[in-house]
Structure 1
Amino acid sequence: MGWRADGGLWLLVRGGGLFLSKGTGIVEDFEEALVQSRGFGILDVGYRSKDEAWAAGGSGVLLKTTKGGKTWVHDRAADNIPGNLYSVKFIGDNQGFVLGNDGVLLRYVG
């Protein structure tokens, strides 16, 4: 669970499910986002901007949204990484990192 760039919440569940709060702040109403995680669990979501975010998970799953999290597409950049991706963090607008197991560190340069 974490905060979106617009002040709302995101929530991960088993099986790769991602839910987004229907408002900002702490609320109890969530709706499921359309995520194609291929059945692998998503472990973290990092928002680069209000509209763009990245999600990382098991077996090198890397997903991207440009619609504020409503729909997600699979990014093939990490398909050949034999491991899990655990954490997504952005620093400013043009730099971000994805941390995985066995010393995997991916760098985003916008």
Structure 2
Amino acid sequence: MLFFQPYWQPHNRTSARRIQNMGWRADGGLWLAVRGGGLLVSRGTGVTEDFDEQKIPSRGFGILDVGYRSKDEAWAAGGSGILLRTTDGGNSRVRDRVADQIAANLYAIK
């Protein structure tokens, strides 16, 4: 359940690495992309400070955006044309090599 409050509430980071981007998963949980290609996903839904790091083959390039088509299928994009796909809710990710020849960062998933 989402609620709005009239003030900002600080939350501690679960990692010393800086947050690059964040957003909502299809199931109502949060994801955080952190420097160095890390991806943290919340345990459960809503606003929380309880996160797990997912293992992703980013080759050290930063993840800049994640987009969910469903609770099982998601895409992640980032530095040096990295494009990753999961079809099992993030348990495994496969690099889509179609973007390997792009000499630029991929900033958004639409």
What TM-score comes out, normalization by structure 2 length? 0.78
- Counterpart of 1:50, as a letter, is K
What residue is the counterpart of 1:61 in the other structure? 82
Say yes or no: does 1:52 pair with 2:73. Answer: yes
Could you report, residue by residue, the CA deviation over 1:22-76 in whole angstroms, capped at 9, with x for unpaired residues? 0001111000001010110010000011100000001000000111123211111
In proportion to residue count, which structure has more helix?
1
How many residue pairs are counted as aligned between the two chains? 89
Say yes or no: does 1:37 pair with 2:31. Answer: no
- Deviating runs (4+, > 4 A) in structure 1? none
Q: Which runs of 5+ in 1 are unaligned?
A: 90-110
- Counterpart of 2:26, as a letter, is A
In proportion to residue count, which structure has more strand?
1
Percent identity of paired positions between Structure 1 and Structure 2 = 73
What residue is the counterpart of 1:73 in the other structure? 94
How far off its partner does 1:11 sit?
Answer: 0.4
For the residue of structure 2 that corresponds to 1:36, the secondary structure is: coil
Could you report, residue by residue, the CA deviation over 1:51-109 in whole angstroms, capped at 9, with x for unpaired residues? 000000010000001111232111111011111100002xxxxxxxxxxxxxxxxxxxx
- Cα RMSD (Å): 0.8
1:21-36 alignment, distance < 5 Å: 21-36=42-57
Larger C-alpha radius of gyration, 1 or 2? 2
User: 2:40 pairs with 19, 37, 61, which one?
Assistant: 19
What TM-score comes out, normalization by structure 1 length? 0.78
